[in-house]
């Protein structure tokens, strides 16, 4: 027995049901509640509670206002409901995902349908239901027209030409299915018919749902069928109107219940998360005309009945169950496990006995918080959602639209699609009409429903659930082009599969992880990380010493002072090693190198490793306190330096300095020392900056670094003919490859002078004079080199063949510019972390796709693995942003003398048991199997409630032809006053004012949501870099010291400016408005915007639209529009605020 049949049986017995929180109150006459009936009610308790909660605000009858019929004013304008207003504003083309109406399109097919008779009957309904004759005026008020012309259904006939009929019906669908009606013109519907083969007729029905909600459409089709079958049937007169209902409902705002609900939601504003952060294929603003497509599935009657019974056993309602399953899917595909869903509710308060007979838009919404971050099983998560749903329903009189308005005011009032994923449950609605199914009543009475589609402004995905002949039927109506190809299919299939498993597999209810990757993606991930290769187990120094033995006379190191052979390098490093061994060094002992860039660094690193110890590079130019900290933290007692540095620098008392220029070293034996280390002994420790300001010592073993070096040399065929220009500091791990990678291949290291770190002209000369073949640096340094060669007109006969870029973003235009100089250059992106031995991932850059936001990160190196995991360490599906983890042979031992940080960053995966490094970076898998790098997790900021990736904004700015480089920051001490600031370098060399700020701002508005558009733009000659060549965000000019471009004198001066300022102040309840003050940043929202536009039109006798205010939100930009639009040039005297009408003062529409 269906729920509705059960409710009807209870009603016949006189049983009354009432929801009281999570309790079900039952009243009946004595003797009615038999033991069997009590058992049945108990088994269906959760279903009954869910239905009662969906229909009731838990208001007592005594608290409800009563409708007062007002036939005299029946055809006067009246306010839009909150949801109507949101839909009406949302259809504007100025809104992202606007330019569409809230709309339903239905096709019904039947044999022998009498279209003339249908038209006649429909005209009876037109006269009966006021809202079928409604229009909306420009001021945002709706009005029922007293009379309208007789409506005729347009009929097109194709008797025998079936092909022509099919083509016509296809074109009709294209024309009608996404129609946007002019709300100021009647009718807001379009009904057509096509007659074709064997007397069949197809109805095409296009409806703007501003005039009628789903329940109303059920009622409408039911009456249409009834009158079609019995033309003389008399329907009961309607004594009240939708207008009467809306005006009565507003009295609720004066009740304690409403005020309590308002407080309930306002107290939660700061914790309301945005909608699910699903992967998008394009910016919302790039879609000019959204079109929805539908995915449909049906869970058969037996399975649905079983699932409802299982859910009831867990005290979960059917809608609560489906919401929970939906949330599981959204969580897997969302960047953040905390998000908010928009729930559509059918909200007819029992203000009159005829409320259920009325046609109108009675819907409302609530915002349901989903938090899947807690590690519970599905049952517990579903119960938590059910509990939250009950609490929210109890406070639904302060609806979701009003909550969003309040939220918008806290977020500078910008109109954004903040909650674009919708859940609409029609479960239980079929009891309205005697138990027939939703699908049958929604047009099915007139024939077979062959096609339906809905659309809603600012909605990405609308999940609709209902019952059909006892089975569960559901749709996903989505904007297909908004999402990457294949993503929606994967999500939908996972949802359907989860529901099936919740029926058949009891363990799913107890599972922590109910979903896994789609099968094809699982197979791809397994293949992705199959990188295993066997390498000889060597030490870093052994690789170099073997080359020295093979080619002793080959050139190993070159700098401004010396050209050094492999023989000399081996001899001097062995002599240094012997001296160090006399000081008692052994495996895993740390020895510091305090030297400038040059040949001495190479001798020092090799000598320390030959001695059996590990080296720690310390820049001699560091502040004394920093040097002392590193020496102390590393438990270092021996330092390799130079005599002049030993004399000029301050040293702790316990430090023994071994000077590489000490002539006594040359007297020691240069024979190869016996190797005492193992490949799991430390090779080096490199200190990196820590998030707390205290540097972290990354301890890397020989085997990890050797694995990376051997892979790179094999991958890029590095050999004895290769020569690298070593531009990286010894304190930066790229130097590890420059030294040991190149020397292991028998190549040559060429050092620029230590005072030529950023001298691209010097680099260019060395590349030519030293026949440099390899470049290895961060992108910023390579960009300096490219710009140098562009400046001198290119290069002839360059030997440069390989460039490896890593450590920061690669500008999208850099590869093409580099290939213009070196057409045969093998350009590669490399990535990873110091904690994983230099690099762990690579991507060969051939041609930059015009749709890329960044250069792909690529695929893992040999014997290394890369993962994109969510907060629960589950694999993220394709396109979904997650945290990047590295596994495999390259992992460091950990952080020196910091077990707590080591345990936090180097984890053991709870399922696979694999040791992984948590990089702190964000990324996602692309459909081609590569990872896309999305920036540091700590560069994800929150501004005005929105989570923002700064790198995403930077990437868009860098695509502008006038911008060479940029950095975006979020400035402001408190969350409430944070704002985005863009620092930009002109693409026109040497010209600081090489771009227009307004032009850049408009460019961003066309590609990014408004909350991601920076509020301030700063011109720089160059972006500051760290010593390693990375962007130095800490060295950007302070925003407070930047001269503001805003005019100092912005007070209204002209008559029109003063009048407009008075209207701004009245609507916003603020004072002292300036010409540049943004209406929305001062607290305006779409409702107040509607009021302001209406007042402007009234005051200035013009016809502005909402889009005019959205596009010109301040007085300075609005006044010219008013001047152009004014029909009378004579100035209108300013009306004092005290003379404004009550309508103008109250701020209600």
Q: Among residues 12, 38, 63, which one ends one of the domains?
A: 63
Supply the pLDDT for residue 1141. 34
Q: What is the CATH number of the domain that holds 695?
A: 3.40.50.980
22 in any annotated domain: yes
Token digits for 77?
């304008």
Classify residue 1050: in a domain, yes or no. no
Same domain, 127 and 189: yes
Q: Which CATH number does the domain housing residue 1017 bear? A: 3.30.300.30
499 lies in the same domain as 571: no
Residue 758 within a domain: no
Within 8 A by CB and 6+ apart from 713, the residues are 741, 744, 745
Can you read off the two tokens belonging to residue 297?
Answer: 């599935």
Cα(924)–Cα(877) distance, integer angstroms: 8
Q: Would you state the structure tokens that stand for residue 774, as one six-digit string?
A: 């390899």
Same domain, 311 and 189: no
User: Is 574:545 a contact under the CB 8 Å cutoff?
Assistant: no
* 777, 805 Cβ separation under 8 angstroms: yes
Residues 6 or more apart whose CB falls under 8 angstroms from that of 36 comprise: none
Considering the domain architecture, whether residues 275 and 318 belong to the same structural domain is answered as: yes
Q: Does residue 474 form part of some domain?
A: yes
Helix (H) or strand (E) holding 682: strand 682-688
Dist. CA 984–CA 961, nearest whole Å: 12
Whether residue 908 lies inside any domain: the answer is no
Do residue 352 and residue 381 come from a single domain?
yes
DSSP 487: H
Boundary-marking domain end, from 687, 703, 719: 703
Q: Is residue 756 part of a domain?
A: no
Quick one: tokens of 786? Answer: 């490219």
CA distances from 1122 to 1057, 1117, 1125, 1133 (A): 10, 9, 5, 15
Looking at the structure, tell me whether residues 552 and 498 fall in a common domain.
no
Which of 506, 528, 550 marks a domain boundary?
Answer: 506
Q: Please, are residues 920 and 885 in contact by the beta-carbon 8 Å criterion?
A: no
Judgement on whether residues 622 and 699 belong to the same structural domain of the protein: yes
| Cβ neighbours of 226 (radius 10 Å) | 13
Predicted pLDDT of residue 1142: 33
- How far apart are alpha carbons 240 and 357 in whole angstroms? 10
Q: Which residues of the chain have pLDDT under 50?
A: 56-58, 417, 432-440, 975-976, 992, 1042-1049, 1127-1149
Q: Are strands 292-299 and 471-479 parallel, antiparallel or unpaired?
A: antiparallel
Question: 1145 Cβ partners below 8 Å, 6+ apart?
Answer: 1066
647: which 2 tokens? 């004399």
Residue ranges in 107-255 assigned as alpha helix (H): 115-128, 162-176, 214-229, 242-249
What 8-state DSSP symbol labels residue 197? G
C-alpha distances out from residue 291 to 178, 286, 463, 534, Å: 7, 13, 16, 53
- Helices 82-90, 400-410: inter-axial angle, 10-degree rounding: 60
Cβ neighbours, 10 Å, residue 253: 13
CA angle 1061/1066/1071 to nearest 5° reads 65
- Whether 1064 and 1079 have beta carbons less than 8 Å apart is answered as yes
pLDDT of residue 959: 86
Task: Write down the pTM of the prediction.
Answer: 0.83
CB 948 within 8 A of CB 942: yes
Domain of residue 47, residue span: 3-63
CA distance 428 to 214: 13
Say whether both 106 and 215 belong to one domain.
Answer: yes
Read off the CATH number of the domain in which 38 is found. 1.10.10.1830
Q: Residue 419 belongs to a domain with what CATH number? A: 3.30.559.30
Question: Do 192 and 44 lie in a common domain?
Answer: no
Domain containing residue 231: CATH number: 3.30.559.10
Same domain, 176 and 298: no
Could you tell me if 581 and 597 lie in one domain? yes
Q: Say how many domains are in the chain.
A: 6
My answer on whether 82 and 181 are in the same domain is yes
Q: Is residue 501 part of a domain?
A: yes
**Has residue 774 been placed in a domain?**
no
Q: What is the 3-state secondary structure (H, E, C) of 324-359?
A: HHHHHHHHHHCCCCEEEEEEEEECCCCCCCCHHHCC
| C-alpha span between 683 and 706 (Å, rounded) | 10
CA distances from 434 to 324, 352, 368, 550 (A): 29, 20, 30, 94
- The CATH number covering residue 1066 comes to 1.10.1200.10
């Amino acid at each position: 027995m269906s729920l509705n049949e059960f409710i009807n049986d209870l009603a016949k017995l006189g049983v009354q049901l009432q929801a009281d929180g999570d309790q079900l109150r039952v009243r009946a006459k004595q003797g009615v509640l038999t033991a069997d009936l009590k058992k049945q009610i108990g088994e269906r308790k959760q279903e009954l509670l869910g239905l009662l909660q969906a229909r009731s605000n838990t208001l007592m009858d005594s608290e409800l206002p009563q409708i007062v019929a007002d036939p005299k004013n029946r055809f006067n304008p009246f306010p839009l409901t909150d949801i109507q207003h949101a839909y009406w504003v949302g259809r504007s083309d100025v809104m992202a995902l606007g330019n569409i109406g809230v709309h339903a399109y239905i096709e019904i097919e039947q044999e022998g349908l009498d279209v003339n008779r249908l038209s006649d009957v429909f005209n009876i309904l037109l006269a009966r239901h006021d809202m079928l004759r409604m229009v909306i005026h420009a001021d945002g008020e709706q009005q029922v027209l007293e009379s309208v012309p007789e409506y005729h259904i347009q009929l097109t006939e194709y008797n025998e030409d079936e092909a022509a009929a099919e083509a016509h019906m296809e074109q009709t669908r294209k024309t009608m299915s996404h129609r946007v009606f002019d709300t100021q013109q009647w009718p807001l519907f379009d009904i057509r018919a096509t007659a074709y083969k064997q007397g069949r007729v197809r109805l095409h029905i296009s409806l703007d749902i501003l005039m009628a909600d789903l329940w109303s459409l059920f009622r409408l089709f039911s009456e249409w069928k009834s009158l079609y079958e019995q033309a003389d049937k008399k329907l009961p007169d309607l004594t009240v109107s939708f207008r009467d209902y809306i005006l009565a409902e507003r009295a609720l705002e004066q009740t304690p219940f409403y005020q309590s609900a308002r407080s309930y939601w306002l107290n939660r504003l700061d914790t309301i998360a945005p909608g699910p952060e699903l992967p998008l294929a394009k910016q919302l603003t790039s879609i000019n005309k959204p079109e929805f497509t539908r995915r449909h599935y049906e869970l058969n009657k037996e399975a649905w009945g079983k699932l409802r019974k299982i859910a009831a056993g867990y005290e979960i309602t059917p809608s609560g169950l489906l919401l929970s399953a939906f949330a599981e899917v959204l969580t897997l595909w969302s960047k953040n496990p905390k998000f908010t869903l928009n729930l559509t509710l059918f909200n007819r308060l029992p203000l009159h006995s005829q409320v259920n007979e009325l046609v109108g838009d009675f819907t409302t919404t609530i915002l349901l918080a989903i938090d899947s971050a807690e590690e519970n099983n599905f049952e517990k998560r579903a119960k938590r959602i059910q509990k939250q749903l009950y609490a929210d329903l109890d406070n639904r009189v302060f609806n979701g639209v009003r909550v969003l308005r309040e939220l918008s005011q806290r977020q500078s009032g910008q109109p954004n699609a903040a909650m674009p994923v919708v859940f609409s449950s029609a479960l239980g609605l079929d009891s309205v009409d005697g138990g027939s199914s939703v699908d049958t009543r929604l047009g099915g009475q007139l024939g077979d429903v062959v096609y339906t589609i809905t659309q809603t402004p600012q909605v990405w995905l609308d999940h609709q659930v209902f019952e059909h002949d006892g089975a569960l039927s559901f749709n996903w109506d989505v904007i297909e082009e908004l999402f990457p190809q294949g993503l929606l299919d994967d999500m939908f299939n996972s949802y359907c599969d989860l529901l099936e498993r919740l029926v058949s597999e009891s363990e799913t209810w107890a599972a922590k992880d109910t979903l896994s990757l789609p099968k094809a993606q699982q197979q791809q991930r397994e293949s992705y990380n199959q990188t295993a290769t066997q390498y000889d187990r060597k030490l870093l120094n052994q690789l170099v010493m073997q080359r020295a033995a093979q080619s002793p006379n080959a050139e190993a190191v070159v700098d401004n002072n010396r050209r050094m052979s492999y023989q000399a390098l081996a001899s001097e490093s062995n002599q240094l090693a012997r001296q160090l061994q006399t000081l008692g060094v052994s495996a895993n002992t740390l020895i510091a190198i305090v030297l400038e860039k040059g040949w001495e660094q190479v001798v020092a690193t090799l000598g320390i490793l030959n001695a059996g110890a590990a080296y720690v590079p310390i820049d001699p130019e560091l502040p004394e306190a920093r040097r002392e900290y590193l020496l102390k933290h590393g438990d270092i007692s021996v330092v390799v330096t130079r005599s002049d540095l030993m004399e000029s620098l301050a040293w702790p008392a316990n430090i023994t300095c071994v000077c590489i220029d000490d002539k006594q070293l040359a007297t020691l034996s240069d024979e190869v020392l016996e190797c005492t280390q193992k490949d799991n002994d430390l090779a080096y420790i490199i200190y990196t900056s820590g998030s707390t300001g205290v540097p972290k010592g990354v301890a890397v073993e020989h085997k990890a670094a050797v694995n990376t070096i051997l892979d790179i040399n094999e991958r890029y065929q590095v050999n004895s003919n290769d020569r690298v220009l070593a531009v990286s500091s010894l304190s930066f791990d790229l130097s590890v490859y420059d030294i040991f990678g190149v020397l292991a291949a028998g190549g040559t290291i060429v050092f620029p002078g230590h005072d030529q770190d950023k001298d691209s002209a010097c680099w260019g000369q060395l590349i030519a004079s030293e026949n440099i073949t390899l470049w290895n640096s961060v992108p910023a340094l390579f960009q300096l080199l490219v710009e140098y060669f562009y400046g001198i007109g290119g290069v002839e006969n360059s030997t440069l063949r390989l460039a490896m870029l890593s450590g920061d973003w690669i500008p999208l235009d850099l590869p093409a510019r580099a290939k213009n100089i070196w057409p045969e250059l093998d350009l590669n992106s490399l990535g990873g972390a110091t904690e994983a031995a230099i690099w762990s991932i690579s991507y060969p850059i051939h041609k930059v796709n015009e749709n890329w936001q960044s250069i792909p990160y690529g695929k893992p190196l040999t014997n290394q693995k890369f993962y994109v995991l969510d907060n629960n360490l589950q694999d993220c599906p394709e396109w979904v942003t997650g945290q990047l983890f590295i596994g495999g042979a390259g992992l460091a031992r950990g952080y020196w003398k910091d077990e707590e940080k080591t345990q936090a960053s180097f984890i053991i995966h709870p399922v696979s048991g694999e040791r992984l490094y948590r990089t702190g970076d964000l990324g996602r898998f692309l459909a081609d199997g590569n990872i896309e790098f999305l920036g540091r997790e700590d560069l994800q900021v929150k501004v005005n409630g929105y989570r923002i990736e700064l790198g995403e904004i930077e990437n868009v700015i860098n695509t502008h032809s006038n911008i060479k480089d940029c950095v975006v920051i979020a400035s402001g001490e408190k969350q409430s006053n944070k704002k985005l600031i863009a620092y930009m370098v002109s693409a026109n060399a040497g010209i600081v004012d090489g771009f227009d700020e307004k032009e850049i701002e408009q460019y961003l508005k066309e590609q990014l949501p408004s909350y991601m558009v920076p509020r301030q733009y700063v011109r720089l000659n160059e972006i500051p870099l760290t010593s390693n060549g990375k962007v130095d965000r800490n060295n950007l000019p302070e925003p407070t010291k930047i001269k503001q471009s805003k005019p100092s004198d912005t007070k209204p001066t002209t008559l029109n400016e003063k009048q407009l300022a008075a209207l701004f102040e009245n609507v916003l309840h603020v004072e002292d408005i300036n010409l540049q003050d943004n209406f929305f940043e001062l607290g305006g929202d779409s409702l107040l915007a509607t009021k302001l536009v209406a007042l402007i039109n009234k005051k200035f006798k013009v016809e502005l639209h909402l889009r005019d205010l959205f596009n010109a939100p301040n007085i300075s930009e609005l006044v010219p529009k008013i001047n152009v639009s004014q029909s009378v040039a004579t100035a209108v005297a300013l009306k004092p605020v005290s003379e404004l009408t009550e309508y103008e003062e109250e701020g209600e529409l």
